[in-house]
Amino acid sequence: MTINRIAAAALAVLGAAVAIPIPLAQLDFAGVINVFNIESGGSPRALVVIAAASGVLTFVVLATALAGAVLAATGARPARAVLLTAAVAGFVTALPIWLPAGVVIGAAALLTEHSGTSPVPDSRLGPSSLSAT
């Protein structure tokens, strides 16, 4: 396991762990769960429904980030796409408070780039084109 894979997986897990209170607060505001004793008060019903939907979607984003961490740890090619999806989707579900988690998960995605791959040689060029002169 290369150091980039370990670092990418660790950053993705850290980004997801830092973001756990976000959907909890959204669902608490909506009255689905009571974690932080947040009351919606006289908020319009549409706002409460939006907060509940956003909280559920943010939990899905966290699951996507954790799946990306597992993919990054195993060195799978889709890891970068999954982590970038999680980082961007988090901005959609909880824009202002997702910034730190999104940046960390995005950094994890950048570490998963497969820079060590070499291009496939073209057989039409012959063996002399691959030798260094």
State yes or no: pLDDT of 116 exceeds 70: no
In degrees, to the nearest 5, what angle opens at C-alpha 85 toward C-alphas 84 and 91? 95
How far apart, in Å, are the Cα atoms of 129 and each of 72, 103, 106, 120, 133? Answer: 35, 43, 38, 13, 9
State yes or no: pLDDT of 4 exceeds 70: yes
Question: Long-range pairs for 80-84 at CB < 8 Å and ≥24 separation?
Answer: 80/109, 80/110, 80/112, 80/113, 83/8, 83/12, 83/108, 83/109, 83/112, 84/109
Residue 86 lies in a domain: yes
Residue 80 lies in a domain: yes
Give me the mean pLDDT over the 54-76 stretch.
95
Helix (H, G, I), strand (E, B) or coil at 64: helix
State yes or no: pLDDT of 129 exceeds 80: no
Where is average pLDDT lowest: 30-39, 83-92, 108-117?
Answer: 108-117
State yes or no: pLDDT of 118 exceeds 50: no
CA 83 – CA 87 distance, rounded (Å): 6
State yes or no: pLDDT of 58 exceeds 90: yes
CB burial of residue 130 (10 Å; 0-12, 13-18, 19+): exposed
Structural domain boundaries, residue 79: 3-114
Give me the mean pLDDT over the 13-21 stretch.
94
Residue 61 lies in a domain: yes
Residue 11 lies in a domain: yes
Residue matched to tokens 């940046």: 103
Share of the chain above pLDDT 70, in %: 84
Residue 127 lies in a domain: no
Residue 121 lies in a domain: no
State yes or no: pLDDT of 117 exceeds 60: no
Q: How many domains does the chain have?
A: 1
CA 25 – CA 69 distance, rounded (Å): 24
Residue 64 lies in a domain: yes
The contacts of residue 41 (CB under 8 Å, 6+ apart) are none
Residue with the bigger pLDDT between 55 and 121: it is: 55
Residue 108 lies in a domain: yes
Residue with the bigger pLDDT between 56 and 41: it is: 56
